[in-house]
Structure 1
């Protein structure tokens, strides 16, 4: 069974990722297993952990992840596609690649903000980093 990792961040491009995965599922002869992942950036400013416990931070990551996943969940829950949701915390590209490897995903599908090649080179992007960090096929949805 093909396992697709759909990386979503709550943006319009992420919504298109879900639509693409739904279309992809209709084109496969066998059922897909879809893993939907949202990565929350770790809170790292100052000595925040002196004032806010890990439990409060974990609750914050969970709440932000659930809010970010809401549209994707709503759309996929209406489908007959087997799917799970996960909220990761850490550097986005590394977290996406590690999740895909750990769960045996056969493809990563993610959005791109549509940066020009020069902007992407100067600023960097999660999509570019994912492509460089993994051997798993990556599909960008714009």
Structure 2
């Protein structure tokens, strides 16, 4: 199952980009044998200042047809890393070809796009900068693949 991170904003050179690239490489390496990956990044930017509705339109265009859509949202479900790994495995085992993880801009994800998603996931009640969410999501993807592979990266 291919994994797509669809996000508002452009990632610039810096420590966040280095971390994201490292975890994405680890995920691709570990996930390949598990039928997970590769992970690809789709960045959109609303240059006309249309706000959340315009960002949602751009994000919709970036989503692969038929993908499972999972929104990263503070109102989403809190789950453990093993539970997240189970979500990935369930969709993979159901034969889904693509999983799209959606990260909104500074104001979040448009209500209409959130409603179209199969699930919303939260990294806690706090709001995180979208670049840090990308880092945390990339790490959790690698952690999920490690859990599914039985590797010792994740310790309880």
What TM-score do you get using the length of structure 2 for normalisation? 0.36
TM value normalised by structure 1:
0.38
Structure with larger Rg: 1
**Greater fraction helix:** 1
